[in-house]
Homo-oligomer: A and B are copies of this chain.
Amino acid sequence: MRIKSEWELLNSIKDLITKKGLPSPSCLIESIGDDCAVFQLTKNKSGLITTDISIESVHFKRKFSGFEDIGFKAMMGNISDISAMGGKPNFAFISIGIPDDMTGKDVLSVYDGLLEAANTAGARISGGDTSKSQKLVINIALYGETLKNNLIRRKGAQTGDTVYVTGTLGDSKAGLEILRSGNIQNIRHFPGLIQKHKRPTARFAAVPGIIKKFKPTSMIDISDGLLSDLRHICESSKAGFILNESRIPVSNEIRQYSSVQKKSYYEFAETSGEEYELLFTSGRSSDTPVIINKDISVTPIGKITNNGFFVIRNKKKIKIPITGFDHFKKKV
């Protein structure tokens, strides 16, 4: 059988693990199906582990990103997963597959990027593995911890909850589009879009404020795209959503870029993956953005409903097809 979609493949892997793997012990609070696995350490503390692989030509291209950028972004993707569950990252484990054409200096540049990202979030590189490889491969396994009371899972969203998102959305996809086009003028005019694609910052600094102000009922990081990740929350929570498109926060640069390209910036905002913004639901409602700290605010963009996935677009309620990034359907 040919692999038709990542979704289908993941489901068959999950089924196989359920069928043939050992039963889950009671200390394993969350397994496959959330941003991290969660296991009980002590009465009040949980351990979190996430892992992500970045492969040249699939997740990044050397002509678009420098080695430092590649390391930085790979680490931020993992930090984002720990943040999305309310945790703090502690220890990172780096496996790197190195092609023949990379020098020792190139490899150290990857580590410069990894360390820069890890340092800002308080994580330490504590082990790893090195190998030859045809293409550059970076796998990160990240261990973090959270107080049991601060643990936030995908499931937990309740009908009537407000949906919030940090920062602005869409820049990463627009940045990649510009890099792919090779349009030098656009590359110069839209540094924020390029930066968001090459060096996104996970919202670990917002987590304590979000927990304190909102007591989120569910949370996820936007790595597949807003609509796709909101669907993940709703599927885990057995709920639906109604998204108010005009409320989605977008940057000035993407407004300008979309205008030039004659595209809707909401299309970028709704489908851009690797944003590493946090998307969460809360029983506390707000009609306006809420400042979390000097750099980060969160914006209410919709509501959780009983079922169905809808967007209010141009004042019309539209049932929407969900599209997200799927490795087995398209490539970078």
Q: List residues of chain A with CB under 8 Å of any chain B CB.
A: 1-3, 6, 8-10, 12-13, 16-17, 20-22, 24-25, 28, 31-32, 36-37, 39, 41-42, 47, 49-53, 55, 57-59, 90-91, 93-98, 102-105, 107-108, 111-112, 115, 118-119, 122-135, 137, 139, 141, 143, 327-328, 331
Contacts and interface: CB of A to CB of B under 8 A. Distances in A.
Prevailing SS type, chain A contact patch: mixed
Nearest to A135: B134
Contacts of A97: 53, 55, 58, 137
A119 B22 contact: yes
Contacts of A17: 111, 115, 125
10 contacts: A1-B105, A16-B115, A17-B125, A51-B127, A51-B139, A52-B129, A53-B137, A55-B97, A139-B141, A143-B143
A39 B57 CA distance: 36
Copies in the complex: 2
A326 to B, nearest CB: 10
A3 B51 contact: no
A37 B125 CA distance: 10
A160 to B, nearest CB: 31
A129 B51 contact: yes
